Amino acid sequence: MDSSQLLGITTFTYLFASFLYIGALLFRSHKVGVFATVFTAVALVIQTAGIGLRWVESYQMGFGHAPMTNMYESVVFFAWTIVLFYLGIEWKFKTRTIGAFALPLAFLAMAYGSFAPINKGISPLVPALQSNWLLAHVITCFVGYAAFAIAAALGCMYLLKAYFSKTDQSTDQPGLLPSLKILDDMIHKSMIFGFIWLSGGIITGAIWANSAWGTYWSWDPKETWSLITWFVYAITLHARYTRGISGKTIAWLSIVGLLAVIFTYYGVNFLLSGLHSYGSS
């Protein structure tokens, strides 16, 4: 069994786990929720094995490198970080309802990688990627992206809860979803976590750029949009601390922020040419 088969299994397991989480939410079934968590954890293990095996396969082909260098490998790693971050939240907050909103994001990332007409092969690294900063830059960026994806999922949950619920925001009455107060706090904390890691990603990227191209910043489209995304979250968090924004405002901003992340990560590669254009392959 090769890495592509393991990652294909992961795609459909995430889909099944998504249905289980949605079923557990709608029918308020603890047992179904437990099965959803088990399937998600198993899928994460399979995906980890697939990523590791792909890494080994690259060495067997004579040009070993971390499997994070093209669009296919990056979306696989993106899904991996989303699920890992989600399971951490589930364990910490002891709630599985978030899975109904978070796991579909991981499935969509894997489905894109599996079915989109993109290069899924293992290729030698272009000179710009042959750096020890590769792992540091990619990992920090994608941990941040995963946190922002979870924040957006929580934002959707908040807006859904606010639409269907007439309970006061300060109450903590039971329901299908966590209270508005808890969701607001979780959105905020996820944004902070993601912002710290994105900042690390921009810093490591600048150091890498200086090593590869002789300049820390060149206003490449990817760099520019990374900075725009950073400012979206910086302004949101600043407004949270200084103006106390919360509720629907921060929920909508979490979704806007994810859209900026998606364009930075995906849209720039295909719509704007630049030094990072190799990421579209």
**Short-list 267, 213, 227, 221, CA closest to 141:** 227
Residues 26 and 39 both lie in one domain: yes
Residues 108 and 132 both lie in one domain: no
**Short-list 150, 145, 238, 144, CA closest to 200:** 144
Q: What is the pLDDT of residues 91-103, one digit of tens each?
A: 998 889 999 999 9
Residues 135 and 147 both lie in one domain: yes
Residues 103 and 189 both lie in one domain: no
DSSP 8-class letter at 7: H
Q: Which of 108, 125, 142 is the endpoint of a domain?
A: 125
Question: Rounded to an integer, what distance in angstroms lies between the CA atom of residue 138 and that of residue 201?
Answer: 7
CA angle 239, 242, 248 (to 5 degrees): 45
Q: State the residue range of the domain holding 190.
A: 128-281
Question: Rounded to an integer, what distance in angstroms lies between the CA atom of residue 4 and that of residue 51?
Answer: 9
Question: Rounded to an integer, what distance in angstroms lies between the CA atom of residue 127 and that of residue 220?
Answer: 17
Q: Which of 101, 125, 149 is the endpoint of a domain?
A: 125
Q: What is the pLDDT of residues 162-208, one digit of tens each?
A: 988 764 444 444 467 888 999 999 999 999 999 999 999 999 999 98
Task: Identify the pLDDT of residue 210.
Answer: 85
> 3-class SS at 78?
helix
Task: Identify the pLDDT of residue 169.
Answer: 47
Residues 140 and 85 both lie in one domain: no
Residues 108 and 190 both lie in one domain: no
Residues 121 and 134 both lie in one domain: no
Task: Identify the pLDDT of residue 170.
Answer: 45
Low-confidence stretches of the chain (pLDDT beneath 70):
128, 166-175, 272-281
- Decide if 33 contacts 21 (C-beta within 8 A): yes
Question: Rounded to an integer, what distance in angstroms lies between the CA atom of residue 213 and that of residue 276?
Answer: 12
- Decide if 225 contacts 201 (C-beta within 8 A): no
Burial of 11 (0-12, 13-18, 19+ CB in 10 A): buried
Q: Which of 109, 125, 141 is the endpoint of a domain?
A: 125
Number of independent structural domains in the chain: 2
> 3-class SS at 104?
helix
Residues 99 and 162 both lie in one domain: no
Residues 74 and 167 both lie in one domain: no
**Short-list 62, 76, 65, CA closest to 3:** 76
**Short-list 148, 256, 272, 281, CA closest to 222:** 272
Phi, psi of 42 (to 5 degrees): -65, -45
Q: What is the pLDDT of residues 52-64, one digit of tens each?
A: 999 999 888 888 8
What CATH number does the domain containing 31 carry?
A: 1.20.120
Residues 276 and 144 both lie in one domain: yes
Residues comprising the chain, all counted: 281
**Short-list 184, 189, 130, CA closest to 161:** 184
- Decide if 16 contacts 46 (C-beta within 8 A): no
Residues 106 and 137 both lie in one domain: no
